[in-house]
Chain A
């Protein structure tokens, strides 16, 4: 795990991509809530009808691991740090719908109990860090493993999926800041992408390592993780 032995000052007031209240306007927050509530409702329905037997016990484990992982800020260049988001990891293992539930639990508890991320903006934070990452990361992983079989495909798919979701989340956050009049897009976007290009490498490494570990220990978890389809890249190999 990446860490440096510096005694913690108080964890930053504005950690990761967790937007505090005040950065984003009320209309943007309300749009965030509307999309997030709709997706969560659909996710509950989908997991209720489609969730595989293997996904169920993993949901609690993933929530715990992602919560803990998000506490570990790793240093990147320029006196900046970043931490895991985890949406891609969760989506690869339990599918995007169950991953939305897992990420909602993590981001929700961070806001409600740990004052990490605002309350008004919570819907937006779940959208950026949970919903976007789960679906985009899952889609990229599926696409890459569909082209490249076996362990190479899983490594490439999980790393690139994780990296791209961090960049996408940083982009969406920048757009929300711009729409709110907090920071112009041509100012916020390059800065956010520059920092998160490096943070995304950490996300990619952790996600790829975690997936490799799970496959090594329990290959059955990843082959039918969404309960409905069989991924089995080995079959096409």
Chain B
């Protein structure tokens, strides 16, 4: 196995006593003081995550004629400058090569934010779909710090030269932090008010230390996974892969069909014929957590598998997402989770699992 890569913040994590794990070729902090504490900080205070392993590409070229608008499901022509949008890079069969966020910085300039494990294939795929324009992979020079939670604005504001209230949800600004170029985006993977900061590796440690000093609680990938699953957000490699379409993964509503994109015909056909698989969010009605790979059964027959599962501190129950065979699934028959020790009855539900407004 090749050596794990480290982010510019590795020394910070070591100093904080993080437990590190190998994740997609990176040595990343899974937790610092404990997943529950970090989760709580994000839901009720402010947490900071190092997500520098993720990839950033910059595109410069004609958005109409370069082929970039057909490369993914995101309509970059309709996207206003200063806004970003979630979408998919698909193969011809409609399978998901990656899920990503595209930022429109200018009439001819975009940023793509992609999953760490998919950087190489994404770059090759997008580049191969271009007739003109320049695509640059800046992942190795870029650090990404996510500041998330109801108090995010409060602690972040003093580092930002513009009023953070100017940023609506899924809006961003190219700006400066600590004298260095920074892209400040009001996005996140937690369901909370929050910001994602794209900065140069050189200032990342100083910025991290300053935000922690101000009270941001360092949080690892463990808490991040619980937070995203409470919101029902998909994770590449679990809900999404090249054999699964956005429709099958339950995220088809992110795809609009009023422009061309690779994979469109396959998705339209699936919409018409019905998708062979269906995504079912469920709760275990107990503290028992479902886990990735466990079988889902009805009437003693396997109908699918768990793609993600965890214990949710907000719901106080096990929560999970299952991918089931659409023909075998019967919504009127009790659903069971095969835990390997015994079967427990679970309940299909709607996303998100955690709804802040209803708390």
Do A and B pair up? The answer is: no
Seen from chain B, the residues whose Cβ lies within 8 Å of a Cβ on chain A are none
